Structure 1
Amino acid sequence: MKILITGVAGFIGYHLARRLLTDGATVCGIDNLNPYYDVTLKRDRLAQLKPFAQFTFEPIDLADRENLTALFQQQSFDIVVNLAAQAGVRYSLDNPFAYIDSNILGFTNLLENCRHFPVKHLLFASSSSVYGANTKVPFAIADNVDRPISLYAATKRANELIAYTYSHLYGIPTTGLRFFTVYGPWGRPDMAYFKFVKAILAGQSLDVYNFGAMERDFTYIDDITAGLALILAHPPQTSESQPVSQPESLQSIPAPPYRLYNIGNRTPVKLLHFIELLEQILGKTVPKNFLPMQPGEVLSTYADVEDLARDFDFRPNTPIEVGLRKFVQWYQSYYSE
């Protein structure tokens, strides 16, 4: 089985590639190694993958249509996992075109190649951010998601809609996964938990937004990759697709081989409790700067994963205390070298 992973030098891409390679799969990874955060960390992730004989890497940007198409022409992929994207809610306020180029143009380029060079299964990363201003919890796949409050969220929702269209038009078996605040070793330095550990170890104060009145459904990286590895081997069939709400006049249109799932821990953690856990693990307490809510952020995330449990008998279950301790151990080891 030959698998293409886009964004392979990224946090989730690296972990998924390592898991699949360990299981014996052949993996081709692509990444543009953009400088949104420390490129050294991305290169160090890649260095962990290069010893695997069945791993190859190509420095390709999804927005580079010519080179991406050449890759699909040269290789025959069974499965494509799209984890490449311009991430970050706050960054989208300052650099909107980075999100359009990567998350819209790049994703469409990838879909076009999956159309012309058919694959058995396309998986792509969406985000809990698509739930936007929703107040009903837990967030369920059937909920309305037409109120994104950041450009990042809007591009992820656009990915879901464009992928649905390609699945409908060209029969591409497609699964989208709405990730809920993924954390763990080799994580992203722009994420709050990464910044908090760095600040606490340095004895610096922490910026705490919305005066601490926030919570997140943190999902440990090993749970994410376990779910991905399980799902990618089971492409959706037309008859298995989730029902789509349609006007009565369109009910005769068959549903495409397309599914969406939440993948989260089902246990929202309050921000102040999260900080307390980190302080306990690190054995240090630091001052807090309580600040107003940042534009584009949401108050709470909470995943309904009953669809995932029903179809795959799978639920993420790593307790936050366990996952944070593993992250801190990695962080102290990595940055002490």
Structure 2
Amino acid sequence: MSILVTGAAGFVGMHLSKRLLEEGQTVVGYDNINNYYDTQLKRDRLDVLNPFDSFSFYEEGLADKEALFKVFEENQIDIVINLAAQAGVRYSLENPHAYIDSNIQGFTNVLEVCRQYEIKHLIYASSSSVYGANVKMPFSTSDEVNHPVSLYAATKKSNELMAHTYSHLYNIPTTGLRFFTVYGTHGRPDMAYYSFTKNIVEGNTIKVFNNGEMMRDFTYIDDIVDGIVRLLDKPPEADSSWDRENPDPSSSYAPYKVYNIGNNQPVKLMDFIETLEKHLGIEAKKEFLPMQPGDVKATYADIDDLQQATGFKPTTTIDEGLKKFVDWYKEYYSVKV
């Protein structure tokens, strides 16, 4: 198959592309290499992919409709995996327009190109952030998600609604994946575990929000990639038993499906920090602060439907995952501790 991976220079995009290439797939990468965080890290991720003969790359943004359509004119694309987006909850408070340009306008362009070129399957990144003010645990895709607490979350919920519209109107099979706190090697520097590591190594104080009373369903990157790959040849079909009087938000009479993809084992933030300290061999200096706007106290993924559909089962423990990340971090930044 020929697979377009948008956000190919990103954290999840690079790891997914590498796995697909190793399995013999043809991957067309697409990424605008924006400066939301260190562009050198993004270039270094691409260096992992460039040696593969079946990898090609376009340095463009999703908001550029002509550039996106050119990819389809020059390549026979079978499946689209849309991972490109403006990420980050807190940054959405500072620069909301970046989220509209990439996550709304950009995703509209993705849907339009999938429609015009009759793509077999569109898989796209949503987020656990869509659960917003919900407190029932674990979070289920059958729960309503109508109370987002950040613009980032609102754009991701919008993507799900937009995808359903195109599944309904044009019969495009669309699968949305609500990612739960992905971490691992070549990760995003704006994520807490990455910035914690940097500050601990440099002897700086780490900021622990909500006084450490947080829980996250941390999910290692290899498990996330495995879940995506398992879905490639499983495009959703119309659910003939879908009940219009009691509608399930995660499925439809149209070829549309939304899954949680997480570890299904939330971890206390303080336990996470202690594990990181153990592998670094350094005790962190901590500053305990109140909850930040747009943040949530806990995330916990119900992944039963993904397990039933694909056999997906996360296997990486926090201890194993953080050790791999710390080992990579030390090597990448030439850190000696």
TM normalised by structure 1 equals 0.96
What letter matches 2:318 in structure 1?
I
Deviation at 1:128, TM superposition (A): 0.2
User: What is the correspondence of 1:111-126 to structure 2 with a 5 Å cutoff?
Assistant: 111-126=111-126
What letter matches 1:234 in structure 2?
K
Q: Could you tell me which residue of structure 2 aligns to residue 202 of structure 1?
A: 202
User: What is the correspondence of 1:157-172 to structure 2 with a 5 Å cutoff?
Assistant: 157-172=157-172
Q: Could you tell me which residue of structure 2 aligns to residue 315 of structure 1?
A: 313
- Please tell me whether the aligned partners of residues 208 and 291 of structure 1 are also in contact (alpha carbons under 8 angstroms): yes
User: What is the correspondence of 1:180-191 to structure 2 with a 5 Å cutoff?
Assistant: 180-191=180-191
Residue in structure 2 matching 1:296, options 288, 294, 297: 294
Looking at structure 1, the residues matched to 284 and 135 of structure 2 have their Cα atoms a distance apart, in angstroms, of 32
Q: Could you tell me which residue of structure 1 aligns to residue 274 of structure 2?
A: 276
Identity %: 60
In the alignment, structure 1 residue 46 sits paired with structure 2 residue 28: no
Looking at structure 1, the residues matched to 115 and 143 of structure 2 have their Cα atoms a distance apart, in angstroms, of 29
Can you list the C-alpha shifts for 1:41-64, whole angstroms capped at 9, x where unaligned?
000000110000000000111000
- Please tell me whether the aligned partners of residues 263 and 316 of structure 1 are also in contact (alpha carbons under 8 angstroms): no
Looking at structure 1, the residues matched to 176 and 228 of structure 2 have their Cα atoms a distance apart, in angstroms, of 10
Secondary structure of the structure 2 residue equivalent to 1:222? helix
More deviation, 301-310/282-291: 282-291
Q: Any unmatched runs of 5+ in structure 2?
A: none
Q: Could you tell me which residue of structure 2 aligns to residue 36 of structure 1?
A: 36
Secondary structure of the structure 1 residue equivalent to 2:264? coil
| Distance change in 2, residues 1:268/1:120 (3 Å) | same
Number of residues of Structure 1 aligned to a counterpart in Structure 2? 331
- Please tell me whether the aligned partners of residues 73 and 117 of structure 1 are also in contact (alpha carbons under 8 angstroms): no
Q: Could you tell me which residue of structure 2 aligns to residue 267 of structure 1?
A: 265
Looking at structure 1, the residues matched to 194 and 97 of structure 2 have their Cα atoms a distance apart, in angstroms, of 26
Deviation at 1:154, TM superposition (A): 0.2
Can you list the C-alpha shifts for 1:263-310, whole angstroms capped at 9, x where unaligned?
000111111111111111111112211111100000000000000111
Q: Could you tell me which residue of structure 1 aligns to residue 23 of structure 2?
A: 23
Can you list the C-alpha shifts for 1:105-158, whole angstroms capped at 9, x where unaligned?
000001000000011110000000000010000000001100000000000000
Secondary structure of the structure 1 residue equivalent to 2:334? coil
- Please tell me whether the aligned partners of residues 17 and 27 of structure 1 are also in contact (alpha carbons under 8 angstroms): yes
Q: Could you tell me which residue of structure 2 aligns to residue 128 of structure 1?
A: 128
Looking at structure 1, the residues matched to 295 and 315 of structure 2 have their Cα atoms a distance apart, in angstroms, of 25
- Please tell me whether the aligned partners of residues 122 and 175 of structure 1 are also in contact (alpha carbons under 8 angstroms): yes
TM normalised by structure 2 equals 0.96
Q: Could you tell me which residue of structure 1 aligns to residue 332 of structure 2?
A: 334
Deviation at 1:239, TM superposition (A): 3.9
- Please tell me whether the aligned partners of residues 200 and 285 of structure 2 are also in contact (alpha carbons under 8 angstroms): no
- Please tell me whether the aligned partners of residues 124 and 176 of structure 1 are also in contact (alpha carbons under 8 angstroms): yes
Looking at structure 2, the residues matched to 215 and 22 of structure 1 have their Cα atoms a distance apart, in angstroms, of 34
Looking at structure 1, the residues matched to 81 and 112 of structure 2 have their Cα atoms a distance apart, in angstroms, of 14
- Please tell me whether the aligned partners of residues 178 and 260 of structure 2 are also in contact (alpha carbons under 8 angstroms): yes
More deviation, 70-79/214-223: 70-79
Looking at structure 1, the residues matched to 266 and 239 of structure 2 have their Cα atoms a distance apart, in angstroms, of 34
Looking at structure 1, the residues matched to 225 and 277 of structure 2 have their Cα atoms a distance apart, in angstroms, of 27
Looking at structure 2, the residues matched to 248 and 328 of structure 1 have their Cα atoms a distance apart, in angstroms, of 47
Deviation at 1:186, TM superposition (A): 0.3
User: What is the correspondence of 1:207-218 to structure 2 with a 5 Å cutoff?
Assistant: 207-218=207-218
Deviation at 1:248, TM superposition (A): 8.0
What letter matches 2:237 in structure 1?
Q
Deviation at 1:39, TM superposition (A): 0.1
- Please tell me whether the aligned partners of residues 215 and 297 of structure 2 are also in contact (alpha carbons under 8 angstroms): yes
- Please tell me whether the aligned partners of residues 80 and 123 of structure 2 are also in contact (alpha carbons under 8 angstroms): yes
- Please tell me whether the aligned partners of residues 5 and 29 of structure 1 are also in contact (alpha carbons under 8 angstroms): yes
